[in-house]
Amino acid sequence: MQKKILALIILLSFVFLPACQQQAEKEIQPAPTYPVTQKGDQVDNYFGTKVADPYRWMEDDTADEVKKWVEEQNKVTFTYLEEIPFREEIRQRVTEVYNYPRYSSPFRAGEYYFFYKNDGLQNQSVIYIQKGLDGEPEVFIDPNELSPDGTIRIRLLGFSRDNRYVTFSRSEAGSDWRELRVMEVESKKELSDRLRWVKFSGASWHGNGFYYGGYDKPEKGQELTARNKFQKVFYHELYYKDLSVKNMKFLPLIKGFEFDSYVIDNIGDKFLVFTNIDAPNNRVILMDPKKPDKGNWHAIIPEKPEVLRSANTVGGQLYCSYLKDVTTRVYQHDLTGKLMKEIELPGLGNAYGFSGKRDNKILFYTFTSFTSPPHNLQI
């Protein structure tokens, strides 16, 4: 939170500085004198074409020369910013307008509802749990208590089928690397499991365990610079496995990264798939994994002139969110694609969060606009 406020202060300082200086008839400050940045002689040959990369030395962010360069750059930057006479006024105003409670949309797991809440200026949002819609909210996990500088982030990823356990990710200092842990929901007791070197992954439970995507441990000193290749399990491509057949191999549904596709849900032994294959504005198709070729696809939600931003199933219904005239339009369909109704939103703005589980009878979403802060609604 403090970093966000500092970034806004820096931005507003540069935006309003010239005008305020003219009004105050102040003498314009001279341009900062930046430290000299050395250039290396690194040249790479790509298929016969030589490409110079004089700043390759800066990629080693733990090297002494890089640390020294960063310190010198920061000295120039903050010397300039600290001389701005109205900087503190901007800080106070930005802090004032940013200080209001914010809530995420609630989501249900068994008999409990969970949501994220930030009182206004907390570095990290706190995760709350409550029993039923009328229960009293209580803290489930407070990331702000895990580090003095508030840079540890916690996200709930997936619940076990019986909702007894939840997998959550823990990251530090803004890193993309996540450590997965498991907590017993009822007792809030954390288990001893620690899964490191995880990025860009959820947690999908089956039986007594869960699937997740991870990487090999980087070499020492390359934790922040190593290329993320060969993510484990089956996240490189979309796969499925018939769990009723023992020792069956994973089979590909859609290969490659040229298009954006993901499985929304299954209908019996077939899959609802969100894809932009042959549909730049996206569509939803029904795929038979035994016959995954495009010629066998059935369009459930055909492509429209408007961009389909997301599609999710909740309580046996399919909710499709479109972007039309720079505003959100949401439609409810049955699982055959038949239009049931358009969801009436509070006004022109952005709505998101239309997701849940098959047994959910209530759907929550968040609405916001240029004149309305985010607030939660239900269907």
Residue where the block lists tokens 């890089």:
66
Determine contact, residues 283/260, Cβ cutoff 8 Å. Answer: no
Q: Which helix (H) or strand (E) holds 274?
A: strand 270-275
Determine contact, residues 311/260, Cβ cutoff 8 Å. Answer: no
Tens of pLDDT, residue by residue over 252-281, are: 788 777 888 889 999 999 999 999 999 999
In the chain, which residues have pLDDT < 70?
1-29, 222-243, 248
Specify the pLDDT at position 236: 27
Residue where the block lists tokens 């930030």:
118
* C-beta neighbour count of 231 within 10 angstroms: 17
Tens of pLDDT, residue by residue over 325-367, are: 999 999 999 999 999 999 999 999 999 988 888 888 888 999 9
Query: Measured in Å, how far apart are the chain's first and last C-alpha atoms?
Result: 31
Specify the pLDDT at position 275: 95
**Which residue stretches of the chain are H helix?**
2-23, 64-82, 87-98
Specify the pLDDT at position 235: 30
Determine contact, residues 312/356, Cβ cutoff 8 Å. Answer: yes
- Chain centroid to Cα 53, Å, comes to 32
Handedness of CA 331, 332, 334, 338 (dihedral sign): negative
Q: What are the DSSP E strand ranges found in 132-267?
A: 138-141, 152-159, 165-172, 178-184, 189-190, 195-198, 204-206, 209-211, 238-240, 251-254, 261-267
**Which residue stretches of 190-258 are H helix?**
none
The widest CA-to-CA distance across the chain, in whole angstroms, is 80
Contacts of 215 (CB under 8 A, 6+ apart): 197, 198, 199, 228, 229, 230, 231, 232
pTM value is 0.64
Q: What domains can you pick out in the chain, each with its CATH number?
A: 1-26+61-99 (no CATH), 101-236 (2.130.10.120)
How far apart are alpha carbons 151 and 128 in whole angstroms?
Answer: 19
Specify the pLDDT at position 11: 55
Determine contact, residues 260/270, Cβ cutoff 8 Å. Answer: no
Determine contact, residues 349/367, Cβ cutoff 8 Å. Answer: yes
